[in-house]
Structure 1
Amino acid sequence: MTVLDTAIDLLRGRRIAVVTGAGISTDSGIPDYRGAGAPPRNPMLFETFLASADARRRYWAGSHLGWQRFAGVQPNEGHRALARLERAGLTTGIATQNVDDLHERAGSTNVTHVHGQLHTVSCLDCGTTFDRHRIADEIERLNSWIRMPERVRLQPDGDVEIDASQRFEVPACPVCGGILKPDVVFFGELVPVDVFAAARDIVAAGEVVLVAGSSLVVNSGTRLLEVARREDVPIVIVNRGPTKWDGRAAARVEGGTSESLSAIADALGAPA
């Protein structure tokens, strides 16, 4: 019996809580944070974003260009396999650490984005939320010269590293003129309490937890798995490369999420 067979046996007949990370989106062309070949990163810290107009200028220039490319990325077989499991009534939901909307675009409906999403922008002063397209149109109006550099690598959070010019003009809140920020959780920023509670409920409702494409290094992921561990709920991990919870998993599948999750969906009888 293979490890994948063991994982399938653990999942069969149980309500499955799903936790996903950046690794599930690599087959869609979005690199992960820590896997082999992951690009070096210098992520924006929340306190730096708040304190420095120059930092906000650098961030928004790269974020705007990255979002343009991010918006064209398509779901892969891993995303579609999880949507199949949901349609078959086998999952309690998906708690994802990703800021893309690929789960929803693949057909999943019960998805909690622990680290937020790129498709909305909020004002840190008045709290108004805007569709990202509206803010992108304003960026293009203010910075008609800006173009995507050649041979730039997309980052997992939809950013790109560029040498942003002082010419870049950051849009202000259309309502109050305050500071705008994409609705993603920056490094050094806390996950909103209600969002984490929704993710915790997904895990708590599961009789088994399926982790797909996460190294489980980030604190939010480990906190979710602690919910399962305290209740002696088995954990199945599918990932390329080691994870922080390998020693605690009931089954650990080394491999890509597209092929592994498709095989799991097939074995559990989830129709295509």
Structure 2
Amino acid sequence: MRSTLEICTSLIAESKDIVVLTGAGISTESGIKDFRSKTGVYQLAPEYILSLDYFFRHPKEFYQFAIENLHHPDAIPNSGHEILARWEEAGKVKHIITQNIDGLHQKAGSKNIIEFHGTMKTASCLNCGKKYSAEEMVSRMQTIEKFYVCSHCNPKREKEQYIKPDVVLFGDAGEWFSIEGFNTILHHIAKADCLLVLGTSLKVTPFSTFPQYRGRGVPIIIINKGDTPYDHQEETYVIQDSIGKTLLQIEKKLNER
């Protein structure tokens, strides 16, 4: 009887349109703490501190927390990120839809990425739209008292020109949280001939609903150290192990074919 790893290798070998869903579990292998595990950064309620309401009421404290916990300029992609980039270059992986805001997929060389929860790499003025890099914001924090107020526009109310990180906060709506955004994502998933789920518990909506939109009979491969609501569905293959290690094993088997 074939092992789950061998079945997954065959499925990936046969697939030409893989859509990948990634969560915090792929980035923990690059040393980035995850969000909700027992050792994650959100021992305090994330719904409170990472909310639009908290951002407007306490912009300084918000930025101190965000830069300390969500900005990881020195993190480097791990073998999981690198293999996905190679598979994209080879034409197998067509899209990566990620919950992560760390930019590691891009650093690894992947190009077709939907950052569903946005990115920490940039911040934008809520009034004029001017973009600031995370590095600029760190520099502003060190040199300007009201660093979170845009220097390029002059509306009547100061809060209208706050500079907000380009991440989706609680109570917020990102660019993909629109009818057009959802339709684009669901179109990619409906076309896929395999879904590869990496490092996400698939418990946070609406991201958790995406696998439901795959075509009939399309397999799901889940590599995640915890359980997901999809683990016991038909055509679902689950490996509860390290993502980097597992993808390296699959890549090795693919290269031996």
User: Considering the TM-score relative to the shorter chain, is it more than 0.5?
Assistant: yes
| Contact in 2 for aligned 1:139/1:170 (Cα 8 Å) | yes
Q: Separation in 1 of the partners of 2:195 and 2:125?
A: 35
Measured against aligned partners, the alpha-carbon deviations of 1:11-63 in whole angstroms (never above 9, x if no partner) come to 221121111110001110012223453342422343423551x2x22111122
Select the residue among 199, 222, 230 that pairs with 2:185: 199
Q: Separation in 2 of the partners of 1:37 and 1:86?
A: 32
Is 2:213 aligned against 1:227? yes
Partner of 1:142: 144
Partner of 2:106: 104
Q: Separation in 2 of the partners of 1:244 and 1:190?
A: 25
Unaligned residue ranges in structure 1 (runs of 5+): 144-168
| Contact in 2 for aligned 1:114/1:199 (Cα 8 Å) | no
Structure 1 ranges of 4+ moved more than 4 A? none
Measured against aligned partners, the alpha-carbon deviations of 1:225-267 in whole angstroms (never above 9, x if no partner) come to 1211x54422110001111221226101110111111222333
Unaligned residue ranges in structure 2 (runs of 5+): 155-160
Partner of 1:2: 3
Q: Separation in 2 of the partners of 1:241 and 1:222?
A: 14
Give 3-state SS (helix, strand or coil) of 1:247's partner.
Answer: coil
Aligned residue type for 2:5? L
Aligned residue type for 2:54? F
Measured against aligned partners, the alpha-carbon deviations of 1:128-187 in whole angstroms (never above 9, x if no partner) come to 3222222222112126xxxxxxxxxxxxxxxxxxxxxxxxx4421122251111001112
| Contact in 2 for aligned 1:114/1:195 (Cα 8 Å) | no
Q: Percent identity?
A: 31
Q: Separation in 1 of the partners of 2:100 and 2:114?
A: 10
Compute the displacement of 1:89 (Å). Answer: 1.0
Is 2:220 aligned against 1:243? no
Aligned residue type for 1:176? C
Counterparts in 2 of 1:197 and 1:267: CA distance versus 1, 3 Å: farther
Give 3-state SS (helix, strand or coil) of 2:206's partner.
Answer: helix
| Contact in 2 for aligned 1:47/1:188 (Cα 8 Å) | yes
| Contact in 2 for aligned 1:114/1:196 (Cα 8 Å) | no
Q: TM-score, normalised by structure 1?
A: 0.80
- Structure with more relative contact order (C-alpha pairs < 8 Å, separation 6 or more): 1
Partner of 2:168: 185
Q: Separation in 2 of the partners of 1:47 and 1:117?
A: 15
Partner of 2:245: 259
Is 2:176 aligned against 1:173? no
Q: Separation in 1 of the partners of 2:183 and 2:135?
A: 29
Q: TM-score, normalised by structure 2?
A: 0.84
Q: Separation in 2 of the partners of 1:231 and 1:173?
A: 49
* Count of matched residue positions in the alignment of Structure 1 and Structure 2: 241
